[in-house]
Amino acid sequence: MLGINELGEINEFGPWEKATRTELKVILAAFFYRLEKGNWETEKVRAEQVLFSEKQEEKKSLTDKELSFKTLDSLLVYTDGASRGNPGDAGIGVVVYDEKGNLIQEVGKYLGKTTNNVAEYSALIEGIKIAKDFKAKKVKFFLDSELVVKQIKGIYKVKNKNLLSLYNQVIDQLKQFEQFTIEHVPREQNKKADQLANAGIDSFVKK
């Protein structure tokens, strides 16, 4: 039967008082396996796999936690809406970068059945929400919908009643930023947001 000396040999992670909860779980799992089977080499491989997996989960959780508290002064936000049928199954895509071009967050969601223009406005509203969550002060928005961009800039009037409430919502929320710009970009420069919007539709349609 294994005693405390053998248990000490199993601990390859360093002094006991410095072991993390995850490491202790792996050490004890190895101890009881060896106690039952007497095959330490097999369990050593499995223990290392478990430790790697659990540390990856810890790292992911930490990253998510850090992200939720992160504040970014300036952001670049690409948004797109898609509707198959117009009206039809619709989705939104949002891609957020920091001012250095590092990817910060991306979102793809299913909206339900609606028009392409409603989807475009909904995607922009989602992008604004994300920028607000990061407490951004300066935001540059990029859309491939010329209609929405020109309506927000006041070049085109909003005649559709379904779009008017969304337009008013966007205008009201944009006032919360110290600085913002909204620009039209060619579709090929907005591919990632488009892919996310269509992925959002696929996540529902293909179920």
Amino acid at 80: D
Q: CB burial class (10 A; 0-12, 13-18, 19+) of residue 14?
A: exposed
Which tokens hold the place of 111?
A: 């909206």
Which tokens hold the place of 37?
A: 């089977």
Beta strands in the chain (DSSP E): 74-84, 88-98, 103-114, 138-143, 179-184
The reply to whether 149 and 170 lie within a common domain is yes
Query: In the listed set 30, 49, 68, which residue is the last one of a domain according to the structure?
Result: 68
pLDDT in tens, the chain (207 residues): 444 444 454 444 455 455 666 666 666 666 555 655 555 555 555 555 555 455 444 444 334 445 555 789 999 999 999 999 999 999 999 999 999 999 999 999 999 999 999 999 999 999 999 999 999 999 999 999 999 999 999 999 999 999 999 999 999 999 999 999 999 999 999 999 999 999 999 999 876
CA-nearest of 83, 100, 92, 167 to 123 is 92
**pLDDT recorded at residue 59:** 43
Q: Cβ of 167: how many Cβ atoms within 10 Å?
A: 18
For residue 106, give its domain range.
74-205
Query: In the listed set 21, 40, 68, which residue is the last one of a domain according to the structure?
Result: 68
Query: In the listed set 68, 94, 113, which residue is the last one of a domain according to the structure?
Result: 68
Cα gap 112→117, rounded to integer Å: 13
The reply to whether 126 and 87 lie within a common domain is yes
Task: Count structural domains, the chain.
Answer: 2
The tens digit of pLDDT for each residue in 119-173 reads 999 999 999 999 999 999 999 999 999 999 999 999 999 999 999 999 999 999 9
